[in-house]
Amino acid sequence: MHIDWWTLGLQTINALVLVWLLAHFLFKPVANIVTERQRVAAALMNDAAAAKDVALNDQKQAAAELAGLAQQHAQLLAAASTEAAALKASLEQAAHADADRLRAAAQAEIDTMRRDAAQADADRATRFALDIAARLLDRLPQQARVAGFIEGLAGELAKLSPDAQAQLATDGGALRLIAPRSLQPDEIDACRIALARVLGREPPLQVTVDASVLAGLELEAPHAIVRNSLRNDLSHLKTELLAHDAIRA
């Protein structure tokens, strides 16, 4: 075999030139492109990791805010429930108070009606008693309407305090003597004598006729009133009847 060293050398030189050309114009740009792409890929990966971290942080923050909202919602519900319970209790209390006031007002109205009815019954009974007494007195002698009450009037006068009696005895004005009819002179004298036994002097008397007295005598002075009459007895009876009805009610 014959080797052509010049041909081999030229081919070697051609191979070296080809390798240098490839290394300078192909391998190095490709390597730079690969390196740049690796750098870009790494940057993208870093950006993606950062975005992932941001997303995770946002997710955690959103979860925390959601938990806070849920807690706030629960607190608002609890507060609303408490307020509703307080409002319910207040309304129930107000309703009970209104009912109590209505019952009290109704009871007061019933009591008033009962008192009015009792008063009306007592008034009717008093008028009826007065009518009966007047009819009965019409059958009695006129003297009986006065004579039987003179000593009783003196007795009622004696029940006054000593100071009141002394004031009546020293009072210069006339005492007003109320009778159911006009008095005869002897009846007026009998009244003066009976009153003088109590007062120590015969007082001046001013006789006034009032048929509503029915029977008896009444004595009025500026500082005292003494009654011994059928009208006064009926008035006391009426008061006792009303008091008895009030206690029974």
Chain segment 104-145, per-residue pLDDT in tens: 887 888 878 777 776 777 667 766 766 676 666 666 666 777
d(CA 123, CA 32): 131
Domain positions in the chain: 1-109, 140-248
pLDDT at 218 over 90: yes
Please state at what angle helix 28-138 crosses helix 230-248, rounded to 10 degrees.
150
Alpha carbon 56 to chain centroid, angstroms: 61
- Listing DSSP states for 10-37 in one string gives HHHHHHHHHHHHHIIIIIHHHHHHHHHH
d(CA 136, CA 174): 33
Among 117, 188, 194, 129, smallest CA distance to 155 is for 194
d(CA 18, CA 133): 165
Confidence of residue 177 (pLDDT cuts 50, 70, 90): very high
- Report the b/e string of 131-168 with b at 16+ CB within 10 A: eebeeebeeeeeeebbeebbeebbebbeebeeeebeeb
What's at 37, amino acid-wise?
R
Confidence of residue 173 (pLDDT cuts 50, 70, 90): low
pLDDT at 95 over 90: no
3-state secondary structure of 207: strand
What are the structure tokens assigned to 235, written together?
A: 């008035």
In this prediction, residues 161-188 reach a mean pLDDT of 84
pLDDT at 68 over 70: yes
Rg of the chain in Å (alpha carbons): 64
Q: Which helix H or strand E contains 44, and what residues bound it? A: helix 28-138
pLDDT of residue 52: 79
Give the residues across from 225 on adjacent strands.
Answer: 220
d(CA 156, CA 160): 7
Q: CA neighbours within 13 Å on the CB side: how many for 51? A: 6
Portion of the chain with pLDDT greater than 90, in percent: 12
Chain segment 1-20, per-residue pLDDT in tens: 566 677 777 778 877 777 77
Question: How big is the CA angle at 169 (ends 167 and 175), to the nearest 5 degrees?
Answer: 95
